[in-house]
Structure 1
Amino acid sequence: MWRNHPFAFGIIAITVAAILFGVAGALAKVLFHADISPLDLTAVRSIVACAVFSLAMLLTQPGVFRIKKSALPLLIATGLAFTAVNITFYYAISMISVAAAITLEYTAPFFVLLISVVSASRRVDARDVGIVALSVAGCFLLTGGEAELFSLNAGVLVGLACGLAFAVFNMLGNACKRRGVGATTVTLYAFLISSALWLAALPTLTVHEIDYSGDVILYIAFIAIIATIIPYWLLMYGLRHVDALPATIIGMFDPLVAGLVAYALVGERLTVVNMVGIGVIIVAVCLITIKEKNAPSSSQKNNAKKAPDESSGTLQEPTQNAY
């Protein structure tokens, strides 16, 4: 069943991942109100996610730890990009609003478009440019068109850096698929590399000063497990079947959900303009989905050559894991 509809399930996986990312962003704002710094939250989140996911894989799929030496540089790059996305994102939402920070994160389609043109990794046409412009405009409306987005303050610059890092992360996800590295292996090594960096940095952080009350522990556990492990695996799975450009556009469900959750938990407003933005984002997602479905991407074409064996969880290659 999964093998017959890889593109559709890729779209669904990326959509669910975006929803969980949106929830994580809003909950992070709640923790910042509890005086937990972005660096501390990112470190704890990464270490907890790595510990839980690694233990689960050791018990259920120990084979995902085995990789080809040739894939190691790509996995290291993916782990570094993963770390950069998290650091810049949490720093941004500590300096500007959740909605504004997520708007800047989702300049990622623009950066994917730019990198694709420069590297000639994707054939870009006028429809791609139009859909990217539409999606970014929708995200801007969703956040209410905040004036701070036009000022080159530190928060805006960090948010743009997050957009670039997220674009690179998505493109590396596509590259991992082309190299035959499975979603579970990519996710695992991203967590391992990120947590190793954070463990080395622990002496410079203040995680020991966090007030680990019941609510704080629950929020951290939710962010680390439900809003980190699951969505990143889903994103990596989706990127096996969907190119980075449409993936980052579909991912704009993230700010949509973040805005709704932030409205409920943090008291941020949701206006008529925001609702128009939601509509524009949905239109952009529908357009890019239809375009990709009617004109299979390079990612989908490669899929026909290296279809994953769903029953065994491995590619049709001897040493790599599909999931």
Structure 2
Amino acid sequence: MRAVGMAAIFVAAILFGAAGAAAKVLFVSDVSPLDLTAIRSFVACAVLGPIMVLLPGRPFHVPPAARPMTVAAGVMFVVVNATFYLAIDMMNVAAAITLEYTSPFFVLVLGVLLGTRRIGLRDCAIVTLSLVGCFLLTGGGGEWVRLSAGLAIGLACGFAFAVFNMIGNACKSRGIGATALTFWNFAISSLIWVAALPFLGVHRLEPTAEMMAYIGFIAVVATILPYWLLLFGLRHVDALPATVIGLLDPLAAGLMAYVLLGETLTAANMAGIALVSLSVILVTLSERQTSRAPAKPPRSPAEGVPQLEANNG
């Protein structure tokens, strides 16, 4: 099942990348990132809901004890998607999506804050490598390193995606099925965006056949299916290796953006993607080695105060 889970996340990453490139086409057509995020949730909820009604058993059921976590997942779903599309609107599609996959570092930081691990010199070096890569991602027009709003929003997306993946991992032990969690993510997201409709420009859009086709593709093929695959995969694969597999996302997005928009990456962008990808792979390998290392036996009282070992699980 671990292999099946990894395959599911692999396909999800390719579809997420395609969604990013298709979204950029709509942004060029004056559809705002927040409008698209709301429409995506509405359409996905409207399509998935009737399908679930036909499923046997109780496909909508969430155990009462797990409902707070389900709501938290839905809120983080909104944050991930909003920051994801805002970053894509501000910079190259592949660069923006690569920033989303800085999430393993936020998993590590949260682990430190929660007391489940300690950061050493190796971790600091990897984080430094990733930060340099992030700055290079926004370089362009002769600038190799540049701070920007797109960089900040992309990193915010990475943090939100880290939390979302951690919640997805935790939902398995709470008895929440992947299909139910996928639907409730869309439903909670839709409720939030309904409340925000007066502040959005959805009602001012003039839909065309091309716009509806792109929205349908993003909402169904590149939203319902990949999110279900991701949540299914997270039931069998930890958050860190899942994110490494997700590095196929910016690769697919870059190719799609080149075909649909003629968007190319500068040497700085490509160097940044390479550094971020390398640092994510290194941190995952480090995490795997740590998790496989045998635990040290506690010291005897005669040897002094026992040393506490960091839990890097």
Query: Given the two structures, how large is their TM-score scaled by the length of structure 1?
Result: 0.78
Pair member with larger Rg: 2
Q: 1:282 to 1:95 in 2, by over 3 A?
A: closer
Question: Would you say 1:235 and 2:211 are equivalent positions?
Answer: no
- Report the equivalent of 1:223: 218
Q: Helix, strand or coil for the counterpart of 2:42?
A: helix
Please list the CA deviations of residues 21-77 of structure 1 after superposition, one character each: whole Å capped at 9, or x if unmatched: 111111111000111011111110011001111111111246121121100000000
Report the Cα offset of residue 254 of structure 1: 0.9
Report the Cα offset of residue 265 of structure 1: 1.0
Cα contact 2:135–2:151 (8 A) shared by 1: no
Which of 180, 188, 194 is the matching residue for 1:193?
188
Which of 4, 8, 15 is the matching residue for 1:9?
4
Q: Hey, what's the Cα distance between the residues in 1 that align with 2:14 and 2:255?
A: 11
Q: Hey, what's the Cα distance between the residues in 1 that align with 2:286 and 2:54?
A: 41
- Report the equivalent of 1:64: 59
Cα contact 1:260–1:270 (8 A) shared by 2: no
Q: What letter matches 2:80 in structure 1?
A: V
Q: What letter matches 1:80 in structure 2?
A: V
Question: Would you say 1:175 and 2:170 are equivalent positions?
Answer: yes
Q: Which runs of 5+ in 1 are unaligned?
A: 298-323
Report the Cα offset of residue 106 of structure 1: 1.8
Q: What letter matches 1:234 in structure 2?
A: L
Q: Helix, strand or coil for the counterpart of 2:194?
A: helix
Please list the CA deviations of residues 88-135 of structure 1 after superposition, one character each: whole Å capped at 9, or x if unmatched: 111122223323322322221111111122224568888877777777
Q: Give the root-mean-square deviation of aligned CA atoms.
A: 3.0
Question: Would you say 1:95 and 2:90 are equivalent positions?
Answer: yes
Report the Cα offset of residue 192 of structure 1: 0.9
Which of 257, 264, 274 is the matching residue for 2:252?
257
Report the Cα offset of residue 180 of structure 1: 2.2
- Report the equivalent of 1:316: none
Q: Hey, what's the Cα distance between the residues in 2 that align with 1:16 and 1:160?
A: 23
Q: Helix, strand or coil for the counterpart of 1:162?
A: helix
Q: 1:37 to 1:62 in 2, by over 3 A?
A: farther
Q: What letter matches 1:63 in structure 2?
A: R
Question: Would you say 1:117 and 2:112 are equivalent positions?
Answer: yes
- Report the equivalent of 2:297: none
Q: What letter matches 1:55 in structure 2?
A: P
Q: Hey, what's the Cα distance between the residues in 2 that align with 1:49 and 1:148?
A: 39
Report the Cα offset of residue 291 of structure 1: 7.7
Q: 1:144 to 1:35 in 2, by over 3 A?
A: closer
Q: Hey, what's the Cα distance between the residues in 1 that align with 2:121 and 2:139?
A: 25
Q: Helix, strand or coil for the counterpart of 2:176?
A: coil
- Report the equivalent of 1:321: none
Q: Percent identity?
A: 56
Q: Hey, what's the Cα distance between the residues in 1 that align with 2:122 and 2:233?
A: 22
Q: Hey, what's the Cα distance between the residues in 1 that align with 2:185 and 2:96?
A: 23
Report the Cα offset of residue 13 of structure 1: 1.1
Q: Aligned pair count?
A: 290
Query: Given the two structures, how large is their TM-score scaled by the length of structure 2?
Result: 0.80
Q: Hey, what's the Cα distance between the residues in 1 that align with 2:145 and 2:67?
A: 38
Q: Helix, strand or coil for the counterpart of 2:80?
A: helix
Q: Hey, what's the Cα distance between the residues in 1 that align with 2:257 and 2:159?
A: 24
- Report the equivalent of 1:155: 150
Q: 1:155 to 1:289 in 2, by over 3 A?
A: closer
